[in-house]
Amino acid sequence: MKTSQSLILTGNHVLEGHILYWTGKGWDQQFAHALVSDDAESLEARLREYEACNLVTGCYLIAVARDEYGHWQPVKMRERARLRGPSIDYHNPTSMNAESINVSL
């Protein structure tokens, strides 16, 4: 069923844990390669298919919209944070990256 909402199917790699996006043909770590679709029913069918397999886990759909540059971006802040990864410099024992709070999600 078509919806007015543009959607992407995402999940995590079972073995490695990292984030994956459904491209329409397979799974990819690049958000830019994700299939954007308004066919929620079809994506949900894929979701159920992959939840039952041993490749991807924690699958769900995320809403996306075009930003001012015409690029797809997740609508929700949580998904934007997930896409960008930690905003902190966790490799540095005394991280001084204190201004990241001013980086808009």
Find the shortest distance in angstroms from Cβ 1 to other proteins: 25
Per the structure block, which two tokens stand in for 89?
């410099």
Q: Which runs of E-coded beta strand occur in the chain?
A: 2-13, 19-22, 27-28, 37-39, 56-66, 72-74
User: Of 12, 28, 33, 72, which lies in the binding site for other proteins, with binding defined by CB under 8 A?
Assistant: 12
Q: Which residue's CB is nearer to other proteins, number 45 or number 53?
A: 53
Site for other proteins in 35-74 (CB under 8 A): 51-54, 57-58
* Minimal distance, residue 45 CB to other proteins, in Å: 16
* Contact criterion met (CB below 8 Å) for 67 and 60: no
